[in-house]
Amino acid sequence: MKILICDDDEALVSMVRFKLSRENLGEVVKAMDGREAKMLLRENDFDLIITDIHMPFHSGLEITTFIRQELGKDTPIIVLSAEGLEQTVLEAFEMGANDFITKPFSPAELAVRVRRILKK
């Protein structure tokens, strides 16, 4: 399994990478901003994408739209956000996200959600 994590917070990316690797859920590739995320998405196939909403260059919602509309892919997407606002959550789902996690979250919670989406 190949998982893309898009977030500009190095500590969070490191935490996600450590936990998912520890649980043998797959190889984790990181993108530190929306531009890098788009580049990686154009050039690679991923089994799961985890993206923050607030990122430099392109937001997580733009990335979600890019995956669904421009790339036409149905890769599962988990959206992360420090705002659990209902409007943001609904917008993410409307754009095609499969799950939404409000920051902060525990590594164990993330692993459970990833496992469920990947059906592992």
Min dist CB 59 to another protein, Å, is 13
- Closer residue to another protein, CB minimum distance, 72 or 104: 104
CA-based nearest residue to 64, from 47, 81, 51, 48: 51
- Closer residue to another protein, CB minimum distance, 17 or 68: 17
Maximum separation of any 2 CA atoms in the chain, in Å: 34
As a whole number of angstroms, the distance between CA 102 and CA 94 comes to 17
Site residues, another protein (CB under 8 A) = 8-12, 14-15, 18, 22, 54, 82, 103-104, 106-107
Min dist CB 34 to another protein, Å, is 14
As a whole number of angstroms, the distance between CA 64 and CA 77 comes to 7
Min dist CB 7 to another protein, Å, is 9
DSSP 59: -
